[in-house]
Structure 1
Amino acid sequence: MDAPQHAYADLGPATVLNAVDALGYRASGHLLALNSYENRVYQVGLEDAGFIVAKFYRPGRWSREAILEEHAFCNELVAAEIPVVGPLADDQGETLFEFEGFRFALYPRRGGRWPDLENPDNLEWLGRYLGRVHNVGQTRAFAHRPRLDAQSFGIESCQFILEGGFIPSHLDVAYRSLVEDLLKQIEAAYASAGRVETLRLHGDFHPGNILWTEAGPHFVDLDDCRTGPAVQDIWMLLSGERSEMALALSELIEGYELFRDFNRRELTLIEPLRTLRMIHYAAWLARRWDDPAFHQAFPWFNTDRYWEEHILSLREQAAAMNEPPLSV
């Protein structure tokens, strides 16, 4: 029996260019694959010497309604004069299109460099924008996009890894017992934080999704926008030693609170959220291991060494969650 065809097997250059042409953009034939694995994203040259970006959504990941919620949230942020790169609309106002079975969207090309997060002024600037993003995020709720919680990122991710047979047999007991303890720690941290407001978030606000120019930052890729606590959009900007993270956090919150109060109890969730992201990331790689692109991009995944290092990193997180939370 032939192996099942991968969802992206039919998405070749001709399909991409023809999809763009079908919307009235005259593609020049210049095509550059951009750094994206969950979806397929391309820079497409146009005959007028300009460029657009075409994003083809991974089939079966999001419903049409969930994608349209992403676009709507993005457009709300643009309307609030927050520098988010939003999807292009056709003459009927549509932003999500289909071509030969693929859902896709088009975006203007926007350049920029990696943000300098050692600059306190830049951190305060980002904090101000995040406060404004969350002011928009609280105005309504997602109906079709997921929540960021221990169930979706933790429990379901661990179950997929274990049931899929990804853990080497000699590490199975160690992984099972460790994640069980971690999930208990995370549950206790959420209980300690008490009542925490959840709202619509960017959801994946790491430096790679921030492009900096002389005019300041702009933000891309709301593909993982979801409902969760505000601190989720803050902690991924923190790195280094504990003292360095505390200083960066103070700058971010100083800017944030020019536009919106920040609940200090959410600081208890920083290391639990980091732990959930690590577990979820491993499960994300496992879920996509049938995609040939992942074998090329992540050849180290699903080796004994990978799982040994993953378990070690999670043990370090267990210790980190026992430390007092960062303070502003």
Structure 2
Amino acid sequence: MTDTTAGFGLLTPELMLDALEHAGLRPDGRLLQLNSYENRVLLAHLEDGTAVVAKFYRPGRWTDAQILEEHAFARALAAAEVPVVAPLTLTTDGAVGTLGHFQGQRFAVTPRQGGRAPELEDPEVLRWIGRFLARMHDVGQAEPFHARLAWNSAAPARDARDWLRAQDTLPPELSANWHDAAARCIDAIDAAFDSLPDRRSLRLHGDCHPGNILWTPDRGPHFVDLDDAAQGPAVQDLWMLLSGDPDAARIQRDALLDGYESVREFDWRELRLVEALRTQRMIHHSAWLARRWDDPAFPLAFPWFGTPNYWSDQVVKLREQLEAMQSAAERF
């Protein structure tokens, strides 16, 4: 498996403090690690009594160009007064920008912004989130991403499947069944996207599930991170907010889109892409876990991954998704 943690072993508290000071900040020595599987994220207190959030990027995860596209999107959203925490301007090695470099590490710094999970059972909360996402998509359509991941075809699922095959990751007794189900799913995902050749593609949050939205009483919903920002259809930022129960999901969807369409038109045909996007995320997620298995945090957090039971369950779920995609194609 590919080791994407190379360099993280050198990321000591002392180095992180030195990096912040190198960028023109003055930390007082207090660091608190925040939850993040992908990167190393810390709350750093400064000598002036304020605090910032520092994110040190996982080596090999994103190119500089991809990170800078994310930062530019966040700043464009902030300039349009869409609630998002945008990266600060740093000066490292004489260069001024949002991406800092120090001793082989890349990092960004944002203001501290708290919040709690939104109450998605409340229709008014969903309408507010819908308006928030529509405003974000208004900014997102102004120009495309060029370097970041695109959810516009089955390419992410195909790349994930091909990587897993090359690494010979699966148990031998389940490999053929999983690859057969994945291949059939990839064909169905491509067919779903091909059925909407005139669909719109725009810059998105990309990983908009309830855990990635924070809520405050005065600001409502906001994002503190755009690490998975991507190009794709608007529905990619909507479907993960809906419950798995069909009746509850329908009520939530209608409230969410009621808020969305009070700001921006939604192409309802995109609903036929939801099961294709869900299937693609499943395949992509399996490869994401496998790629990071050399990071000690991952076996501790996901002890069930990679077991025969895991892959057997994935085969069942992918076959169920084939039926779900076929049903979606017939409904919409």
TM range (shorter): over 0.9
Tell me the percent identity.
49
1:156 aligns with 2:159: yes
Shift of 1:248: 0.9
1:193 aligns with 2:196: yes
Matches within 5 A, 1:122-271: 122-215=125-218, 216-271=220-275
Partner of 1:321: 325
Query: AA paired with 2:201?
Result: T
CA distance in 2, matches of 1:257, 1:184: 32
Answer yes or no: is the 8 Å Cα contact 2:4–2:60 preserved in 1: no
Change (3 A) 1:5 1:62: closer
Change (3 A) 1:143 1:150: closer
CA distance in 1, matches of 2:276, 2:41: 31
Deviating more after overlay: 210-219 vs 296-305: 296-305
CA distance in 2, matches of 1:114, 1:33: 19
Partner of 1:68: 68
CA distance in 1, matches of 2:224, 2:314: 29
Partner of 2:112: 109
CA distance in 1, matches of 2:190, 2:4: 39
Answer yes or no: is the 8 Å Cα contact 1:115–1:210 preserved in 2: yes
Look up the SS of the partner of 1:251 in the other structure. Answer: helix
CA distance in 2, matches of 1:104, 1:83: 22
Query: AA paired with 2:282?
Result: M
**TM-score normalised per structure 1:** 0.94
Aligned residues: 326
Partner of 1:273: 277
Look up the SS of the partner of 1:231 in the other structure. Answer: helix
Look up the SS of the partner of 1:104 in the other structure. Answer: strand
Query: AA paired with 1:71?
Result: H
Shift of 1:101: 0.7
Answer yes or no: is the 8 Å Cα contact 1:192–1:268 preserved in 2: no
Answer yes or no: is the 8 Å Cα contact 2:132–2:221 preserved in 1: no
Q: Which runs of 5+ in 2 are unaligned?
A: none
Shift of 1:325: 6.8
CA RMSD of aligned residues (A): 2.1
Query: AA paired with 1:236?
Result: M
1:18 aligns with 2:18: yes
Shift of 1:5: 7.9
Look up the SS of the partner of 1:270 in the other structure. Answer: helix
Query: AA paired with 1:154?
Result: A
Q: Which has the higher contact order (CA 8 A, sep 6+)?
A: 2
CA distance in 2, matches of 1:62, 1:273: 22
Look up the SS of the partner of 2:231 in the other structure. Answer: strand
Shift of 1:327: 8.6
Change (3 A) 1:5 1:197: closer
Look up the SS of the partner of 1:204 in the other structure. Answer: coil
CA distance in 1, matches of 2:272, 2:12: 46
Shift of 1:90: 3.6
Answer yes or no: is the 8 Å Cα contact 1:154–1:280 preserved in 2: yes
**C-alpha offsets along residues 240-298 of structure 1, whole Å, 9 cap, x if unaligned?**
31111111111111111112111111000001001100110001011112222222222
**TM-score normalised per structure 2:** 0.93
